[in-house]
Amino acid sequence: MTFNALFLDHLTTRQKQAEEALSHAGFDALVLGSGEHHTYFADDQEAPFHTVPHFAHWCPLQGPHHLLVIRPGQKPTLIRYAPEDFWYEQASLEAIWGGTPYWAEGFEIVEAPTTEAVWERLGKLAKAAFIGTDLAGAEKAGLSVNPDKLTKHLDWTRSFKTPYEVKCLEAATELAARGHKAALEAFLQGASELEIHHAYVQAVGCVDHELPYGTIVALDEKGAILHYEGKRHLRNGRVLLIDAGAKSHGYGSDITRTWAAPACDSRFKALLVGMEKLQLELCDEVKPGLHYGELHKRGHLKIAGLLHEAGILKADAEEAVELGLSKPFFPHGLGHHLGIQVHDVAGKQLGPDGEFKPSPAEHPFLRTTRVIDAGQVFTVEPGLYFIPMLLRPFRTGDHAAKFDWKQIDELTPLGGIRIEDNLLVTTTGHQNLTRAHLPN
Ligand code: GLY
Ligand code: MN
Ligand code: MN
C-alpha cells in the first residue's frame, strides 16, 4: 500500500471509531481544534506551537486555529485558518507541502482568513462536541467543550496504532537513529554535551523545537538525572547517556542509548553489557496478554540480579526486590505508550469508558498499567543509576550492609545507564521498531 493509501485507510478507521464514540457519548458531531499559540507571561513571545493531539490524530496540518468537523457518514471537513499576514510566513497548502499534501483528498477543505471566519464557516451544529483549546469560540458556537466521556473514548482509540501510524513511528525512529549514530561518533571524539546535541540535531535535520522532547545529553554523573536538560561545554566524558527522539508527520520516537568511552571503568562497562542483555530479554518477552506491570517487575528482578552479580548488592535478586533494594537504582517505570505524545494517553485506561487502573503503590512512576495488546506501541527502557539522593537513606537503614558502598561511591561519578527501544505489539509478539535502524 502506498503511504497515501495507508493514510486514507487510517482516516476510515478514525471515522468509524469517532462515529462509535459519538454515539456512545450522545453526540451527533465532533469538532476538533488544532490549538492556539501560548504567549509567555508578560511577554509578546510565543511558545513553540504544539498541535492538539486529537487534531493531529486525523490530520498532520500544522498551525493554530484550524477546525476539523466530523459527522457520521460524511467526509470530514477541514476549515483551514489561512490569514493574510505580513509578520509571519503564510502560504498555500501546496507551497507548504511542495505539492498537494498526501492527506488532502481525505477532507473537504475550506479556508478562512480570520479566526472569527473559521468559526462562522462551521455553521450551526446540533449536539456537537468540541475538543481543543479555543473554549470561548466553542462555547459561542454552542458546542459541548471537552466532554470527558467522549475524550476518554477517543484517547482509548489512540493506543491502537493503524498501519499508517506505524509507518510514521518507523520514520520517526529512522530519523532518530541517524541522530544517535552521529551522537556516538561525536562522543567517541570527545565532544561536549552541547556538541553532541548539535551533532544529533544536524543528523536528524531539524531545529530543536521540532523534536518530540528536549534531548537529554548527559555525560558522566549527569546521566543519573533522569530528565537532565543541561548542555555543558566540558569535553571527554567517560559515559554518554543520550535520550533523544525525532518526529515524523506528528508522531515521535523516544530512544535512549548509553555508551562508555574506552577509558571508562571496566566495572561500569560490565554493567552496561548486562543492561543491554537484560533490555533485549525484556523486549523478547513482549506479547499480547502480558501485563505491562508484570514486565516492569521482571525488569526489577533482572536489574537486581545484575547488581548482585556485580557485587553492588549482596542480597540475591529475589531478596533484593523483596526488600526494595533495586528501587533506588531503577526509580522509574519500565516504559510508556508512545504516539503523537511521547508519554502517550490511555496508559492506565482499562477500556473506552475511561475506567482507570492507577500505578501500584510500590511502583508509583509506572506510566502504563495496561495489558499488552496488538497495535500498541510503547517503550521498554530499563535503567540503572547511581543517584545519591535515593541511595542516601539506605546507607544508614536496616539493610545498609547489603550494599557495597565503596563500589557505589566509585561508580557514582559515571552516572547511570538507560537503554530504550520502541516496540510495536503484533498479534503474536512484537516488532522492535528501534533495533531495525539502531541495532545497538
Ligand atoms: N524521554 C523521556 C522518556 O523516556 O520517558
Ligand atoms: Mn521513554
Ligand atoms: Mn526517553
Q: Dihedral, CA atoms, 350, 354, 355, 359, nearest 10 degrees? A: 70
Ligand 1 atom 4, closest CA: 254
DSSP state of 190: T
Mean pLDDT by 10 residues, the chain (440 residues): 96 98 98 97 96 98 97 98 93 92 97 97 95 97 97 98 98 98 98 98 98 98 98 98 98 98 98 98 98 98 98 98 98 98 96 93 94 98 98 97 98 98 98 96
For residue 213, the ligand 1 atom closest to its alpha carbon is 1
Of 345, 340, 13, 19, nearest in space to 150 by CA: 19
CA 281 to ligand 2 center in whole angstroms:
18
The alpha carbon of residue 75 and the mean position of all alpha carbons in its chain are separated, in whole angstroms, by 30
pLDDT value, residue 354? 87
Kindly give the pairing relationship between strand 421-425 and strand 430-432. Answer: antiparallel
What distance in angstroms lies between residue 379's CA and the mean position of ligand 3's atoms?
8
Predicted local confidence at residue 440, as pLDDT:
87
Q: Which domains does the chain have, with CATH numbers?
A: 3-157 (3.40.350.10), 163-432 (3.90.230.10)
CB 227 within 8 A of CB 252: no
* Of 109, 110, 130, the residue nearest 28 (C-alpha): 130
Distance from C-alpha of 308 to C-alpha of 106, rounded to nearest angstrom? 56
For residue 429, give the C-alpha cell. 509478539
Nearest to 296 by CA among 338, 326, 339: 326
